[in-house]
């Protein structure tokens, strides 16, 4: 397994582990997303936007490197992180 594959695997494992360890946080994140982050301060929203940009760039690079199935929609994979 190359370094890109290892990074993608680690990313997926760490993300899943974090969500499983604290599922309530994911529920809160999705609820806030649906409500337009109206309960979050600008600093928190800016952090989420930055995280979103990093995630989407990472997934796009993985797609271009052939690590994701051709035709995968990065915005769908990124879920709510992909919306403005």
How far, in Å, CA of 1 to CA of 79, rounded? 27
Task: Kindly give, in sequence order, each residue whose CB lies less than 8 Å from that of residue 74, ignoring residues fewer than 6 positions away.
Answer: 56, 59, 60, 63, 82
60 token code pair: 């796009």
What pLDDT sits at residue 81? 58
Read off the pTM. 0.58
The answer on pLDDT for 71 being more than 60 is: yes
Locate the domains of the chain by residue range: 3-82
25 token code pair: 């946080």
How far, in Å, CA of 9 to CA of 44, rounded? 27
Q: Render pLDDT for 4-52 as a digit per residue (tens, 0 to 9).
A: 778 877 887 887 788 788 888 777 777 877 777 787 778 877 777 777 7
What pLDDT sits at residue 82? 54
What pLDDT sits at residue 80? 59
Higher pLDDT residue, 37 or 61?
Answer: 61
């Amino acid at each position: 397994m190359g370094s890109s594959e290892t990074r993608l695997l680690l990313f997926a494992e760490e993300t899943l582990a974090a969500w499983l360890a604290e599922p309530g946080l994911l529920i809160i994140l999705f609820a806030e997303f649906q409500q337009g982050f109206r309960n979050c301060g600008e600093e928190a929203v800016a952090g989420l936007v930055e995280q979103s940009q990093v995630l989407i760039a990472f997934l796009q690079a993985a797609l271009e490197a052939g690590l994701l199935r051709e035709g995968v929609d990065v915005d769908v994979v990124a879920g709510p992180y992909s919306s403005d």
